[in-house]
Structures are given as C-alpha cells and as structure tokens.
Amino acid sequence: MRYDFITEGAPKGTNSVKWDLAAEGVLPMWVAEMDFPAAPFILKALHERIDKGVFGYTHIPDSYYKAVTDWFARRHGWDISKEQIIPISGIVPAISVAIRALTMDGQLEPGAAMRAPGEKPTVIMQSPAYNCFFSNIRNTACELSANVLLWNDAGQHYEVDWDDFERRCAAPGRKVFLLCNPHNPTGRLWTREELTRMGEICLRCGVPVISDEIHCEIVTCNPVIAGHDRQSPGYIPFASISPEFAQNCISFVSPTKSFNIAGLQIANIVSANEDFRARVDRVINDWEHCDVNQLGIIALQAAYTPEGEEWLAQMNAVVDGNFALLREALAAEFPQVRLPRHEATYLAWPDFSPLKDRSGAPLSGSAVQKYLIENEGLWLCDGAIYGDARCCRINLACPAATAADGIARLLRGLRALIA
C-alpha cells in the first residue's frame, strides 16, 4: 500500500506547537516532529477505541508488551521480556528517572536518602546533544561531563574522541553515561564497533549506560550506510550487543518519534538488570510517573505491525530524498558548509561557520536563525541550545515540496548574509 507523504499533517488549529506557534507565513522546520499525517492504520485503531466512549483508569494489557517484544525481536534481533519493560509517558521524564535511579544510594525503601548531602554525580554525554539532556542533568542535581564529538571530514560525519571519553569514564566519582543511539542532532548511526567500544570502556570503568533510542526507526535507505547489521536497517540496540551490556544498561524506546504521535505520550524503559528496574520503579513511584496515555497504548500496538514497517520504509525514503535535495543545494552554492551525510534521524545539522558574514566573522547558528525568521519566514533551531553555536538543526520530515520551499528560503538567506 502506498501511504500519503504529500499532505501536510499538522495544519494550524490543532494546537500544534510547531504550526500554531509560528507566525503567519513562517515555515517551521525546527521542532522534531513530522509534517506527515498519522498512518491510517493508527487512526483506525484510535477511532475504534474512541468509539467505545470510555476513558477511565487503564491497565496495560499483555498485548501491549507482546507488540513491543515482537517488534524489536523481528526488526532488530533484540530479545526483550515483558518483565524488562516499564511503560512511561515519555522519554524525557524517563531519562531523568533513570539518572536519579542510578545515582541514588544503595537503599530502595521509600523515603530513604537518594544520595549523600551535597553530592553531585557526573553524567557523561556526547556533545552536541539533544537540548533536554542538559535539563535532565541539571534537574537531577548532577554535573555534566561533555565528551565533544569530532568532525571527520573524510567520512562526513561526527565521531567519538575516544581518549577523552575514556578519561571521563575513568575519572573519580559516581558516573552515568547518557548515550544517544542514533545520535540527535548529528544524525550518527553508531556502528556495532563504536557501540562495543563505548560499552567496554563503561564496563571497565564501572559506569552504567542509559541509552535514548527514540530515533531508532528513522534511518537511511542507503544500503552502503545501512549495512552495519544484516538484521536491521542499520540501528543496533546497545543492550542487544552482549549480556554484559544488557546488565549494565537502561534503554528508552518509543514509537512517538517514528510515527508522529508525540502527543499521545507513550514510551518504554527497558532493562535486563533487575536492580536497575527496582531503582527505576522506586523513582517512578516517588515522582508519580506511573500512568500512561491509554490512547498511546492503542497507537503503539497499531504501529508495531507489518503495516507499520511498510509505512516506515516509505517515510524513510521521503526523508532520504529531502536530505539529498539539501545536500545537492548546499554543495552547488555553499560547499564550505559542513553537512553530515544522512545516516539516521530526520534532522540535518549544517555547520555554517566556514561562511563569513559581511564583517568577515564566521556565521553563527543564531545569526542564521534570526535572519531567516525575520526575512525569509523560515524557522530553524539555533545549534547553541544543543551545545554548538556554529550550527542549526533542520527538520526534514516533511513532504518534498515543503523541503524544497524551506531549502530555497535557506539559500536566499545565506546569500543575503554573506553578500
């Protein structure tokens, strides 16, 4: 079946953060949600549930857990049991829960001290990073240790500074490694070798891993890049690599990013480690994060089906095409701009600093964002909120015509800024 990736999915009037907060005439290509309508099989399942007319307190059925376990086993070779899954409303609160759970003291009784007075454990993460990671760390009273990713010009992608990563993991103090797999905002699809090296360093240094894998289904259709693993289109769940990694890890997965259903607020915390799960459960109950959206339960089960796999394949092909449009346009007119090759996510991460403004200063992401909003009606994300002020983040999960419009506005703006 061919699905609709031409119609805009979030017109004004839907209380959309992306569209209803944009001024008239402004094209929003900033927040990480798609412009495609929800898949018809998801809408059908939701309509059938809504027609029952009952929206009381909800338990999570066995069919929900089976949908999750079957999906990851079939698509990614990751064997998860029902007991390893803790549903939650979203991945951002899940990350804060996991950080808190893994930096508490050894006591699990309600009301016990979470950590010693004044103690500030360290969370290691790779920068640039999803902006909410910074608030996750701050709001759990932890300290950030940023392993800054390095640009590889030959590979046209970012990669790990391994010496720095190991040094941070080996430093004294209580630590957690917050992994983003695939990586937002750089779009890296970490290879098995890279994930294995990260995991081995963390094991050696006694550092537990928490892994945000929400973008796991949004991967390139390019067979050269996708050939990391024959069982999947390129994404490798960190916890699936070895039993030792599974025991040292808490993972976060959700269909909301992949199927454009973020407003239904459904996600899963997954860990094979019984002690980690007990700690997570303790924090979830302390913080009253126990309930999930009952329509999210329905949507997940509808998404994690063969129809969902076909929808994803078609969606990823559209995103691939949009990345190709952007790359070709920048290469033709602004080849100095560093644009990572498309591996995963629908987020482009161009570095504009090789371009110089009229005063001769490198272009910054904030200057590009400000000019484009005010003069071209194009709303991108300033890279400073992700930890790199040289860049902007561009959302390319949209119809090809929308992408072409946004790219044309971007090119006009760059011409004016460097004229």
Direct distance between the N- and C-terminal alpha carbons of the chain, in angstroms, rounded to an integer: 48
- Dist CA 209 CA 217 (whole Å): 21
Per-residue pLDDT reduced to its tens digit, 314-359: 999 999 999 999 999 999 999 999 999 999 999 999 999 999 999 9
Whether 119 contacts 302, CB under 8 Å: no
pLDDT reported for residue 419? 78
pLDDT reported for residue 230? 39
CATH number for region 55-305: 3.40.640.10
Quickly state the pLDDT bin for 222 (edges 50, 70, 90).
Answer: low
Q: Which of 403, 419, 408, 409 is nearest to 374 (CA)?
A: 409
**Which distant-in-sequence residues (6+ apart) come within 8 Å of 89 by Cβ?**
265, 266, 267, 289, 291, 292, 293, 296
- Dist CA 30 CA 218 (whole Å): 17
Whether 212 contacts 190, CB under 8 Å: no
pLDDT reported for residue 178? 98
Beginning with the edge strand found earlier in the chain, give each strand of the sheet holding 381-382 in spatial order. Answer: 347-348, 392-395, 381-382
pLDDT reported for residue 292? 95
What is the signed CA dihedral for 146, 152, 156, 159, rounded to 10 degrees?
-40
Helix axes 91-103, 274-286, angle to 10 degrees: 110
Per-residue pLDDT reduced to its tens digit, 380-407: 999 999 999 999 999 999 999 999 999 9
Torsion sign, CA atoms 406, 412, 416, 419: positive
Prediction pTM value: 0.94
Cα 187–Cα 192–Cα 197 angle in degrees, nearest 5: 100
pLDDT reported for residue 290? 86
Q: Is 171 helix (H, G, I), strand (E, B) or coil?
A: coil
Q: Is 334 helix (H, G, I), strand (E, B) or coil?
A: coil
Tell me the mean pLDDT in the region 172-187.
Answer: 96
Domains 17-40+307-418 and 55-305 fall in the same CATH topology: no
CATH number for region 17-40+307-418: 3.90.1150.10
pLDDT reported for residue 9? 73
Tell me the mean pLDDT in the region 10-18.
Answer: 85
pLDDT reported for residue 231? 41
Q: Which of 293, 303, 126, 131 is nearest to 217 (CA)?
A: 303
pLDDT reported for residue 113? 47
Per-residue pLDDT reduced to its tens digit, 263-294: 999 999 999 999 999 999 999 999 988 899 99
pLDDT reported for residue 201? 98
Whether 327 contacts 335, CB under 8 Å: no
- Dist CA 396 CA 329 (whole Å): 14
Whether 59 contacts 231, CB under 8 Å: no
Tell me the mean pLDDT in the region 210-218.
Answer: 98
For the record, the structure tokens of 196 come out as 């294995």
* pLDDT of 109 over the 80 cut: no
Bond preceding residue 182 cis, omega within 30 of 0: yes
Residue length of the chain:
419
pLDDT reported for residue 221? 79
Residue 157 phi, psi (nearest 5): -155, 170
For the record, the structure tokens of 313 come out as 């394949």
* pLDDT of 106 over the 50 cut: yes
Pairing of strands 267-270, 85-88: antiparallel
Rounded to whole angstroms, what are the CA distances from 277 to 91, 248, 371? 16, 11, 47
Tell me the mean pLDDT in the region 140-162.
Answer: 96
* pLDDT of 224 over the 60 cut: no
Q: Is 260 helix (H, G, I), strand (E, B) or coil?
A: coil
Pairing of strands 27-28, 249-253: unpaired
Each domain of the chain, given as residue ranges in start order, spans 17-40+307-418, 55-305
Rounded to whole angstroms, what are the CA distances from 260 to 36, 144, 418? 7, 30, 36
Per-residue pLDDT reduced to its tens digit, 18-67: 999 999 999 999 999 999 999 999 999 999 999 999 999 999 999 999 99
Quickly state the pLDDT bin for 119 (edges 50, 70, 90).
Answer: confident
* pLDDT of 114 over the 70 cut: no
- Dist CA 414 CA 419 (whole Å): 8
Tell me the mean pLDDT in the region 212-216.
Answer: 98
Helices (H), 232-272: 243-247, 256-259
Per-residue pLDDT reduced to its tens digit, 53-73: 999 999 999 999 999 999 999
* pLDDT of 107 over the 70 cut: no
pLDDT reported for residue 56? 93
